[in-house]
Structure 1
Amino acid sequence: MTQQARRLRARLAALGAVGVTALAAAGIQGVAHAAGAPLPVVITGEDRVDLSLHSDNGDPTEPQIDLRLDVPGEEFEGDGEVPAVHRGDYTVRIDASGLKGVAKADLPCDADGLVAVCSGYDLYAGTTFNRLGGIRLDLADDSEAGDTGKIVVTGEGEGLEFTPLTVDVRVGGPELLNRELSLPEDLKAGDAFEPPLGVMNVGGLPAEGAVLRLYGSRGLSFPDDFGNCSSTVVDTGPLLRQHTEVLCTFPGTLDAGAAYGLARPVRVKTADFALHDIFSYSFRPLEPGEEKTLHQGEGRRQGSGPDLTLVRAADADPADHTRYAELDLPTTNTYDLELTGASASGAAGDTVAAEIGFANNGPAWISALRSGGEPFSFTVVAPEGSTVTSAPRQCRTITVDGSVPGYRCSVATPLLEDARLTFPFELRIDEVVAGARGRVALPDWDNPFDSDASNDVAWIVLNAPDAPGDGGAGGSDGGPSDGPSAPGTGDEGGSGGPDSGTNGTNGTSGGAEGGDAEGGLALTGAQGVGLLGGAAVLALGLGAVVVAYQRRRAGRDGEAAV
């Protein structure tokens, strides 16, 4: 959404009943504008596009501008037909004639050269259901560095008041690429390293200043203090969003074709619990007047040390620079996942409680940053002669080893380095079998980050004899199993647990609900601490450890923290 759209929506919210009061007439649901007043409609989309002379400007099939109409009211989130806020003919005119000789434009709707007209009838609250189409921009045969043009989008319709959109287009402006990074050798959790940060202007025009953004997920920090930098730290809320961000401004000119490095190193510190945390950095041109406001804002801390400066480097190769510069580190830490079982006694017909314990003994957390918090799982098989009458909502029924009834319990990630979870089951004793044991097990995987596989199996023991050495309910005792063999697969060999639905915030687990199972999951131990999205992640599933790499925009805007 453009800034003009945000400002208008804020004004409408402040007006309250003046702007949005009446319900729509018969057959038309949703919020309508006040009687006699036109319904305000804001045309939204990217309001600036810079076209590079050195790239394909993104996927040639994807538009750079997504045009939508923003209408007051709460967006529809239910099922069924979306209620309209307004019904009546309207048109939107897209005039790209200002791009003649500057760039080529592929317009939506009914286009005639560089002008297109979109028509519609129904309007809905919000923007989701009011999409006009996309505009794709590409270089023209005569495009040159410094060429500029505009696209003007206007609308009209009875009972409607449109706020137009102007899109500024520039060709061959400053284009800053970042020096590529390489993983530091032998970096261990708790260490600090100094990445070789640098920037090259591969655009056709000088950049009048630059902004450096440093980003680190929960396990990373930036201990240095520079006067032209400010920082924010997000250490509350969902673990996937917790991070540290530093912004530094450089007011000097970056010449076209020139490369620059930092006059002094910038350190990245890894926490003792860090594992596959994300570090990224990016340079972008400094906007006019931005230096005065960039370091302001709630939660930002201005640096007090000497300024960090740029120095011009010797001849550089654009091939050594990239748009996205990021690393997942460190890669050598470990954690220790532990299952604990339970024991109970009773007569035939009794219902007993069995509380399964799950813990991460650290020292590392499980960030799962690349997978977005994909859960992993363990299996539970009831002891002989018993039936599960109540299972946690994070557990669902499966068959283990293709024939043994059991449960798969899902644990959401991120998972803190000291997480303690409990999974309460209730069992009905159908037949008393002395020392009956049910197996609780993590996947039979080759997981190089789990430092101790001996506690990946635990037991539920019912009516254990008093004789010593008959097997307890704790971790694996290394002896022969009285129950099924260790389940490496479930659900006919499917890998991974069910989706959690939400990201853990304090080491809590999540997962699919199983049948009519009732009960909950308790959490003890440390409170949740931050995490963030970034580069190599651990997605743990039943029977496999999946490391999924996804490129993320290093310069993506988001809530910052340092």
Structure 2
Amino acid sequence: MTQQARRLRARLAALGAVGATALAAAGVQGAAHAAEAPLPVVITGEDRVDLSLHSDNGDPTEPQVDLRIDVPGEEFEGDGEVPSVHRGEYTIRIDARGLKGVARADLPCEADGLVAVCTGYDLYAGTTFNRVGGIRLDLSDDSEAGDTGKIVVTGEGEGLDFAPLTVDVRVGGPELLNRELSLPKDLKAGETFEPPLGVMNVGGLPSEGAVLRLYGSRGLSFPDDFGNCSSSVVDTGPLLRQHTEVLCTFPGTLDAGAAYSPAGPVRVKTADFALHDIFSYSFRPLEPGEAETLHRGEGRRQGSGPDLTLERAGEADPAQYTRYAELDLPTTNTYDLALTGATASGEAGDTVTAEIGFANNGPAWISALRSGGEPFSFTVVAPEGATVTTAPKQCRAITVDGSVPGHRCSVATPLLEDARLTFPFELRVDEVVEGARGRVAMPDWDNPFDSDPSNDVAWIVLNAPGEPGDDGTGGSDGGPSADPSAPGSDDNDGSGGGTDDDGTDPASGGGPGDDVDGGLALTGAQGVGLLSGAAVLALGLGAAVVAYQRRRAGRDGEAAV
């Protein structure tokens, strides 16, 4: 929702509540709104669009402005037919004549040149079900740097009070790109590096100031303390969203076609547990009056040292500058995933418990930031003469090696550097088999980040005869082999990768010592700072894969009004 829409909606909230109450009291939700109290509605959409002279301005099939109607009331979230708040004809008029000679506009609905009229009948609470259509803007043959124009969107309908929308359009304004980054060679966890930051104004007009944003996921921090910068740290909640952000403001002018770089070093500190953490930075134009308010946000800490300044660089090649500048680092750290078996004894007919242990012995955490927390897995096969009667919630029945009954247990990521989990299995002793062993195993993977593959296999020993070595904690022979299929394959539903209702991940950081459903417990320190951004560590079926992907928001599939 735009700032204009937020202000209008706040101002009209009380009146909207009165209208909604009147409808509910009369028992006519879905019928016509009371005529004596016009329903206040707000036309929403982007209220500003900057068109670049140096790009295609995004996917040519995607509109930059998504027009909707914001109606007071709680949005419908149930099943079945969506109840309407207002019924009656209304029209939305889109007047883009202010763009003549400035830009081309592709308008929705019935358009006559640069004017379009959309009609509708039912209105629903909120904006989700009240889509008008999209406006696509492109450069025209007459477009020049500095051209400005506007689109005015208005509405009318009986019993409705429309707040209009104005979309300001500018051509060839300041456009700041960031100097490309390269992965530092041999950077080790715990070390600090200085990225070669830089900015170039490839737009047609000067930028009156700039804002620099530094971002680091949980394993990264920014040790410098510049007076014109402020920082915020998110170190609670879901691990995927923990991060540190720094914002710096530069009031000077950045000329069109010129490149600039910080006058002094800007350092990025990697934690001892860091591995494939995300660092990104970006420059954007400073908005009028923004320098006085940007650093006052809740939870922000203002720097107290000397200001960071920008200095003009020499000749610069625009090809060395990009819209997105980010790295995943460091890439040299390791972790140690370890399985621990169990021993139990029982007579025929008894039910015993075998608690399988899973740990990350560090030093690195498993961020999996690019995959969004994709789970990985291990398999469990019961000892001979025993049957699994109850398995943890994160484990489900499968067939190992195509013929052996067993279970696959999913472990969610991110996973802390000192995580400790238990998976309790209840086993019924059908037949006493002395020293029977069941195999617990990670996939047979080639994982360069797992420093000790020898503890990727453990044993459940039932009714051990007491011989040395049969303590259930190790060994690599005498049992079925590990399941070669990967998490994310057809027989893995990723059950270990979900979150509880409070947004915490039950398998990767609900808090030290917290119990979760299915008897799975996790302990580990939360650590400091995190977020998300460019290459990946996706752990599935045990294979660590690095992938780079940018996701474009899907086009709204809801029908136009």
Q: Does the alignment pair 1:71 with 2:71?
A: yes
Counterpart in 2 of 1:347?
A: 347
Q: Provide the rounded CA distance (Å) in 2 between the counterparts of 1:82 and 1:133.
A: 20
Following TM superposition, by how much is the alpha carbon of 1:237 offset from its aligned partner in structure 2, in angstroms? 1.1
CA separation of 1:141/1:491 partners in 2, compared to 1, >3 Å: closer, same or farther? closer
- 2:91 counterpart residue number: 91
Q: Which amino acid aligns with 1:477?
A: G
CA 1:30 to 1:400, structure 2 compared with 1: closer, same or farther past 3 Å?
farther
Question: How far apart are 1:178 and its partner, in Å?
Answer: 0.6
Alpha-carbon distance, 1:11 to partner: 4.0
User: Which residue in 1 is equivalent to 2:202?
Assistant: 202
Residue of structure 2 equivalent to 1:102? 102
Match of 1:501 among 488, 492, 498: 498
Which residue does the alignment assign to 2:531? 532
Write the distance in 2 (CA, Å) between the matches of 1:473 and 1:34.
74
Q: 1:547 to 1:78 in 2, by over 3 A?
A: farther
| Residue 270 of structure 1, CA deviation | 0.4
CA contact (8 A) 2:192 2:267 kept: yes
Cα deviation digits, residues 61-93 of structure 1 (max 9, x gap): 111111111222222223322222222222111
Corresponding letter in the other structure for 1:394: Q
1-structure distance, mates of 2:49, 2:491: 43
TM-superposed deviation, 1:465: 1.1
1:460 matches 2:460: yes
Q: State whether residues 487 and 540 of structure 2, in contact with CA within 8 Å, keep that contact through their aligned partners in structure 1.
A: no
1:313 matches 2:281 = no
Q: Are positions 1:477 and 2:503 aligned together? A: no
Change (3 A) 1:27 1:354: farther
Tell me if the contact between 2:486 and 2:543 (Cα under 8 Å) persists in the aligned partners: no
Which residue of 2 is the match for residue 283 of structure 1? 283
Whole-angstrom distance in 1 between the partners of 2:445 and 2:103: 55
2:92/2:118 contact within 8 Å kept: yes
Retained in 2: the 8 A contact 1:261–1:312? yes
> Percent identity over the alignment?
86
Q: How does 1:17-32 map to 2 (within 5 A)?
A: 17-18=17-18, 20-24=20-24, 29=29
- Match in the other structure for 1:252: 252
Contact 2:447 2:542 in 1 (8 A): no
In 2, are the aligned partners of 1:343 and 1:354 still within 8 Å (CA)? yes
Q: 1:367 to 1:5 in 2, by over 3 A?
A: same
Tell me if structure 1 keeps the 8 A contact 2:202–2:258: yes
* Structure 2 residue corresponding to 1:486, chosen from 482, 486, 493: 482
Q: Deviations over 1:302-360 (max 9, x none)?
A: 11111111111111010010010001100000011111121111111111111111111
Assess if the C-alpha contact under 8 Å between 1:235 and 1:243 holds in 2. Answer: yes
Taking the aligned partners of 1:371 and 1:293, their CA distance within structure 2 comes to 35
Show the counterpart of 1:302.
302
Residues 31 and 226 of structure 1, relative CA distance in 2, 3 Å threshold: farther
| 1:187 lines up with 2:183 in the alignment | no
Q: 1:140 to 1:415 in 2, by over 3 A?
A: same
TM-score, normalised by the number of residues in structure 1: 0.91
Which secondary structure does the structure 2 equivalent of 1:291 belong to?
A: helix
Partners of 2:209 and 2:245 lie apart in 1 by: 20
Mapping of residues 29-428 of structure 1, within 5 Å: 29=29, 36-428=36-428
The 8 Å contact of residues 488 and 540 in structure 2, kept in 1 or not, is answered as: no
Helix, strand or coil for the counterpart of 1:21?
Answer: helix
Give the 4+ runs in structure 1 shifted more than 6 A.
25-28, 30-35, 490-493
For structure 2, the residue ranges without an aligned partner over 5 or more in a row are: 510-516, 553-561
| Aligned position for 1:513 | none
When residues 453 and 494 of structure 1 are mapped into structure 2, their CA distance, relative to the original with a 3 A threshold, is: farther
Q: How far apart are the structure 1 equivalents of 2:377 and 2:355?
A: 16
Provide the C-alpha distance between the structure 2 equivalents of 1:17 and 1:256, rounded to a whole number of angstroms. Answer: 49
Pair 493,172 (structure 1): closer, same or farther in 2 beyond 3 Å: closer
Which structure 1 residue ranges, 5 or more long, are not aligned? 511-517, 554-562
Cα distance change on mapping 1:408 and 1:134 into 2, 3 Å: same
1:441 paired residue number: 441
Q: Which secondary structure does the structure 2 equivalent of 1:98 belong to? A: helix
SS state at 1:466 partner: coil
> SS in structure 1 opposite 2:546?
strand
Of the structure 1 ranges 270-279 and 382-391, higher mean CA displacement relative to structure 2 is found in: 382-391
Letter in 2 for 1:549: Y
Partner of 1:559: none
Alpha-carbon distance in 2 for matches of 1:182, 1:33: 60
- Give the whole-Å Cα distance in 2 for the aligned partners of 1:384 and 1:23: 68
Deviation at 1:117, TM superposition (A): 1.3
The answer (yes or no) to whether the contact 1:402–1:492 under 8 Å persists in 2 is no
Query: Taking structure 1 as reference, are residues 27 and 405 closer, same or farther at Cα in structure 2, changes over 3 Å only?
Result: farther
Amino acid aligned to 1:385: G
Q: CA deviation at 1:13?
A: 5.1
* Higher deviation after alignment, 293-302 or 1-10: 1-10
In the TM superposition, what whole-angstrom CA distance separates every residue of 1:140-191 from its partner, at most 9, and x where no partner exists?
Answer: 0010000000011111122222211111000000011111111111100001
- Name the residue aligned to 1:450: 450
Distance 1:448 1:30, change over 3 A: farther
Q: What letter is aligned with 1:377?
A: S
Counterpart of 2:293, as a letter, is T
Residues 16 and 58 of structure 1, relative CA distance in 2, 3 Å threshold? closer
Paired with 1:407 and 1:428, the residues of 2 have a C-alpha distance of 15
Per-residue CA distance 1:261-292 (angstroms, 9 max, x = gap):
11001000000000011111111111111111
CA drift at 1:8: 3.2
TM-score for both structures, normalised by structure 2: 0.91
Per mean C-alpha deviation after superposition, the further-off stretch among 423-432 and 526-535 is: 526-535
Per-residue Cα deviation, 1:366-417 (whole angstroms, up to 9, x for no partner): 1111111111111111112222111111112211111212111111111111
CA 1:400/1:28 → structure 2, altered by over 3 Å: closer, same or farther?
farther
Aligned partner of residue 295 in structure 1, secondary structure: helix
Please state how far the C-alpha of 1:215 moved relative to its aligned partner: 0.6
Contact 1:398 1:490 in 2 (8 A): no
User: Secondary structure of the equivalent of 2:519?
Assistant: coil
Over aligned residues, Cα RMSD in angstroms? 2.4
How many Å separate the matches in 1 of 2:177 and 2:270? 26
